[in-house]
Copies of this chain bind each other. A is one copy, B any other.
Amino acid sequence: MSGGHEPAGSDLLYGIDDIPPPAESVVLGLQHYLTMFGSTVAIPLIMAEHLGIQDDPEKLGWLIGTMFFVSGIATLLQSTFGNRLPIIQGGTFSFLTPAITICGMAGLADQGFEVKMQHIQGAVIIGGVAQMAIGYSGLIGKLLRFVGPVTIAPTIALIGLALYPFGAPEAGRHWGIGGLTIGLIILFSQLLRKKHRAFELFPILLGMGGAWLTAIVLTQAGVFPEGHPAHCSFDKVAVAEWIRIPMPFQWGMPVFSLAAIVGMMAGVIASIVESVGDYFACARLAGAPVPSPKIISRGIGTEGLGGLIAGVFGTGNGTTSYSENIGAIGLTRVGSRRVVQVGAAIMIVLGVTAKFGALFTTIPQPVVGGMYCTLFGMIVAVGLSNLQLIDMNAPRNLFIIGFSFFMGLSVPQYMNANPLEVAEGAHWAMAMLADIGNTLGKTGMAVGATIALILDNTVPGTAKERGLEGWGANAAQDDAPSGATTSAESASKNEEE
């Protein structure tokens, strides 16, 4: 066992500043697009029913197009001017509950799609502005001085672990196709890696492509009839428009209502905590140094900007960092920022050309579930890899790490069954606190992060045990008022000893 510590990205095929040849960049970018596709399409599909457009494929198509268009813009902003990490931005599940609550509010439930959307847009815009303030003011970075690897390890790992309901249950809608996807991705990424460069670079694309193709063939052969979970129909592609460019305020001017805004803040807080964890995971896998408070502040601020743009265009959602794409970096060992920027361009182009976008909606759900199974585990592992920085024989660390992990799964189990409730007619501040408590309490990584943060800063332990020695040096260096912009592209590795 090696005594020192190297970043997990030390044997990357392409590092964060590397620029692969154009053709390779496009295929790698497409692989990121495929990886983020499932979640990004899932959000408008889940919202459709609540917005009342489940039977209006045209509006739904526009909404999906807007989603990808805005995701592309947010990703370009984040990777170019924000934290400059190779991190995909897209719609966030943590905004779903607040947005659905807004659709069901008194006085809105009977209204049409546009009115509901305008209220959501108002809340998302204010949420985005608030997040920009939290980020760009440096507030979030200040809190980071208390965050060491003891906190970061369970936080990141719980991001991946908490997604367990979306793995096997989705792949298991049809184990033949879901298992084929998993098997092919393992085959290419783990067993045949050395046999051909294509296997090494594109295991997700090839795995999903192979399973998708199989589903198409079996659908044509009549084995997967309509309604079968692995059925592939191209009807939606045929009727889709060629070009539609989303416009700001395309559903009307946003409406700002206090209740809607208050509810959305819980989603904003959950998204911030998760994104901070994502930055650490992404930097580790892409071979970048541990993100400094400055980089994290800028990243969170830029996510707020992405939310503001999402609110202006009306995706019915905000933006956040995508864990599955960080998993893809771990699997492919391609950490290039350029690849993510090409992926963002693909999102924008395919968001505008609805016909092509519709093509990818034919990917059957078991294929997406199979991909999730292989990528979410990667997030767990990269979280756990932070444990090598700390002394895992120190009883305090064993207790803090174990307790935060366990409660990160156990408390959401409790909160889902027993959400906080406020009495009818309670003060709006109480309702807001209950909303925020429920959202955070159901978010495993927020629970685990909070517990680990408090205990790591109160239970006695040496800096060496806590893994702050190499860690702190790096953060302190970035804090120094050197004037120079220290960012993730800095080539210095986080070496110890």
Contact of A388 among B6, B388, B413 (CB under 8 A): B388
Whether, in the assembled complex, A433 has its beta carbon less than 8 Å from a beta carbon of chain B, the answer is no
Interchain CB contact under 8 A, B458 and A191: yes
Interchain CB contact under 8 A, A1 and B388: yes
Type the 1/0 row for A446-460, where 1 means its CB is closer than 8 Å to any CB of B: 000000000100111
Type the 1/0 row for A392-406, where 1 means its CB is closer than 8 Å to any CB of B: 110111110111111
Provide the bound-state CA to CA distance between A11 and B391, in Å: 13
A398-B5 contact, Cβ under 8 Å, with A167-B406, A405-B377, A410-B168: no
- Complex interface: chain B residues within 8 A of A210 (CB): none
Whether, in the assembled complex, A379 has its beta carbon less than 8 Å from a beta carbon of chain B, the answer is yes
Interchain CB contact under 8 A, B389 and A387: no
Whether, in the assembled complex, A338 has its beta carbon less than 8 Å from a beta carbon of chain B, the answer is no
Contact of A413 among B168, B379, B392 (CB under 8 A): B168
Type the 1/0 row for A412-423, where 1 means its CB is closer than 8 Å to any CB of B: 011001100000
Interchain CB contact under 8 A, A392 and B396: no
Interchain CB contact under 8 A, B410 and A6: no
- Complex interface: chain B residues within 8 A of A392 (CB): 8, 381, 384-385, 387-388
CB distance from A224 to the nearest CB of B (A): 19
Whether, in the assembled complex, A293 has its beta carbon less than 8 Å from a beta carbon of chain B, the answer is no
Provide the bound-state CA to CA distance between A385 and B400, in Å: 13
Whether, in the assembled complex, A27 has its beta carbon less than 8 Å from a beta carbon of chain B, the answer is no
Type the 1/0 row for A75-90, where 1 means its CB is closer than 8 Å to any CB of B: 0000000000000000
Interchain CB contact under 8 A, A406 and B161: yes
CB distance from A165 to the nearest CB of B (A): 6
Chain A residues in the interface with B (C-beta under 8 A): 1-8, 10-11, 157, 160-161, 163-165, 167-169, 172, 186, 189-191, 194, 330-331, 333, 373-374, 376-382, 384-385, 387-393, 395-399, 401-407, 409-411, 413-414, 417-418, 455, 458-460, 464, 467, 469-470, 496-497
26 contacts between A and B (CB under 8 A): A1-B390, A1-B467, A1-B496, A161-B161, A161-B409, A163-B406, A164-B410, A167-B407, A167-B410, A169-B410, A172-B414, A186-B403, A186-B455, A190-B399, A330-B399, A333-B395, A373-B410, A376-B406, A377-B402, A377-B407, A380-B402, A380-B405, A381-B397, A381-B398, A381-B399, A387-B387
